[in-house]
Protein backbone atom coordinates (compact mmCIF):
# COMPACT_ATOMS: atom_id res chain seq x y z
CA UNK A 1 0.00 0.00 0.00
CA UNK A 2 2.72 2.48 0.96
CA UNK A 3 4.61 1.62 -2.23
CA UNK A 4 1.53 2.52 -4.28
CA UNK A 5 1.21 5.85 -2.47
CA UNK A 6 4.89 6.56 -3.11
CA UNK A 7 4.48 5.72 -6.79
CA UNK A 8 1.47 8.04 -7.05
CA UNK A 9 3.57 10.87 -5.64
CA UNK A 10 6.39 10.06 -8.07
CA UNK A 11 3.92 9.98 -10.97
CA UNK A 12 2.45 13.32 -9.90
CA UNK A 13 5.94 14.82 -9.84
CA UNK A 14 6.55 13.46 -13.34
CA UNK A 15 3.27 14.98 -14.56
CA UNK A 16 4.15 18.30 -12.95
CA UNK A 17 7.43 18.37 -14.84
CA UNK A 18 5.75 17.47 -18.12
CA UNK A 19 3.42 20.42 -17.49
CA UNK A 20 6.40 22.69 -16.78
CA UNK A 21 8.00 21.41 -20.01
CA UNK A 22 4.87 22.40 -21.95
CA UNK A 23 4.75 25.82 -20.30
CA UNK A 24 8.41 26.55 -20.96
CA UNK A 25 8.79 25.01 -24.41
CA UNK A 26 5.45 25.73 -26.05
CA UNK A 27 3.47 28.27 -24.02
CA UNK A 28 6.24 30.60 -22.83
CA UNK A 29 5.12 33.60 -24.91
CA UNK A 30 1.38 33.02 -24.47
CA UNK A 31 -0.76 34.70 -21.82
CA UNK A 32 -0.89 31.45 -19.86
CA UNK A 33 2.89 31.02 -19.92
CA UNK A 34 3.58 34.65 -19.05
CA UNK A 35 1.07 34.49 -16.18
CA UNK A 36 2.62 31.30 -14.81
CA UNK A 37 6.08 32.83 -14.72
CA UNK A 38 5.17 36.48 -14.19
CA UNK A 39 6.88 37.76 -17.34
CA UNK A 40 6.13 40.56 -19.76
CA UNK A 41 5.51 39.91 -23.46
CA UNK A 42 8.87 41.52 -24.27
CA UNK A 43 10.82 39.43 -21.76
CA UNK A 44 9.04 36.25 -22.84
CA UNK A 45 9.88 36.86 -26.48
CA UNK A 46 13.52 37.69 -25.71
CA UNK A 47 14.00 34.64 -23.46
CA UNK A 48 11.96 31.99 -25.29
CA UNK A 49 15.02 30.00 -26.42
CA UNK A 50 16.36 29.86 -22.85
CA UNK A 51 12.94 28.88 -21.55
CA UNK A 52 12.70 26.08 -24.10
CA UNK A 53 16.07 24.78 -22.88
CA UNK A 54 14.78 24.82 -19.28
CA UNK A 55 11.67 23.01 -20.45
CA UNK A 56 13.76 20.28 -22.01
CA UNK A 57 15.56 19.75 -18.70
CA UNK A 58 12.22 19.46 -16.93
CA UNK A 59 11.27 16.85 -19.50
CA UNK A 60 14.40 14.88 -18.64
CA UNK A 61 13.43 14.97 -14.97
CA UNK A 62 9.96 13.66 -15.83
CA UNK A 63 11.45 10.94 -18.05
CA UNK A 64 13.75 9.85 -15.24
CA UNK A 65 10.85 9.52 -12.83
CA UNK A 66 8.83 7.53 -15.36
CA UNK A 67 11.86 5.32 -15.95
CA UNK A 68 12.10 4.71 -12.21
CA UNK A 69 8.43 3.78 -12.07
CA UNK A 70 8.74 1.42 -15.04
CA UNK A 71 11.65 -0.39 -13.38
CA UNK A 72 9.34 -1.46 -10.56
CA UNK A 73 11.06 -2.35 -7.29
CA UNK A 74 14.51 -2.00 -8.87
CA UNK A 75 13.73 1.64 -9.73
CA UNK A 76 14.13 2.80 -6.14
CA UNK A 77 17.51 4.46 -6.71
CA UNK A 78 16.44 6.03 -9.99
CA UNK A 79 13.35 7.57 -8.40
CA UNK A 80 15.38 8.91 -5.48
CA UNK A 81 18.03 10.37 -7.77
CA UNK A 82 15.57 12.29 -9.95
CA UNK A 83 13.50 13.42 -6.96
CA UNK A 84 16.70 14.68 -5.33
CA UNK A 85 17.55 16.58 -8.52
CA UNK A 86 14.12 18.20 -8.45
CA UNK A 87 14.48 19.02 -4.76
CA UNK A 88 17.86 20.70 -5.27
CA UNK A 89 16.60 22.58 -8.34
CA UNK A 90 13.54 23.69 -6.36
CA UNK A 91 15.69 24.92 -3.48
CA UNK A 92 17.99 26.80 -5.82
CA UNK A 93 15.09 28.31 -7.75
CA UNK A 94 13.31 29.23 -4.54
CA UNK A 95 16.38 31.02 -3.25
CA UNK A 96 17.42 32.73 -6.49
CA UNK A 97 14.31 33.25 -8.61
CA UNK A 98 11.03 33.17 -6.67
CA UNK A 99 9.97 31.64 -3.39
CA UNK A 100 6.98 30.10 -5.20
CA UNK A 101 9.32 27.44 -6.62
CA UNK A 102 9.89 26.07 -3.11
CA UNK A 103 6.19 25.24 -2.88
CA UNK A 104 5.81 24.00 -6.46
CA UNK A 105 8.97 21.88 -6.72
CA UNK A 106 11.08 21.53 -3.58
CA UNK A 107 8.43 20.68 -0.99
CA UNK A 108 6.51 18.23 -3.21
CA UNK A 109 9.83 16.57 -4.12
CA UNK A 110 10.75 16.29 -0.43
CA UNK A 111 7.37 14.74 0.37
CA UNK A 112 7.79 12.30 -2.51
CA UNK A 113 11.29 11.38 -1.30
CA UNK A 114 9.87 10.65 2.15
CA UNK A 115 7.22 8.34 0.71
CA UNK A 116 9.74 6.51 -1.48
CA UNK A 117 12.03 6.02 1.53
CA UNK A 118 9.18 4.87 3.76
CA UNK A 119 7.95 2.42 1.14
CA UNK A 120 11.43 0.98 0.73
CA UNK A 121 11.74 0.40 4.49
CA UNK A 122 8.33 -1.23 4.79
Question: d(Cα 119, Cα 76) in Å, to the nearest integer?
Answer: 10
The predicted structure's pLDDT at residue 82: 98
Range of the domain at 105: 2-21+52-120
65 in any annotated domain: yes
pTM attached to this predicted model: 0.94
Question: d(Cα 66, Cα 21) in Å, to the nearest integer?
Answer: 15
- Do 21 and 117 meet the contact criterion of CB atoms below 8 Å apart? no
Digit-coded pLDDT (tens) for 29-50: 999 999 999 999 999 999 999 9
33 in any annotated domain: no
How many structural domains compose the chain? 1
77 in any annotated domain: yes
Residue 3 has pLDDT above 90, yes or no: yes
Average pLDDT of the chain is 97
* E strand or H helix that includes residue 93: helix 76-96
Amino acid sequence: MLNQVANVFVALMALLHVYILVLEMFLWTTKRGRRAFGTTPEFAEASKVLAANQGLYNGFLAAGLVWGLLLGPTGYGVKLFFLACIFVAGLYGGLTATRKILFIQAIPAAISICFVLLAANQ
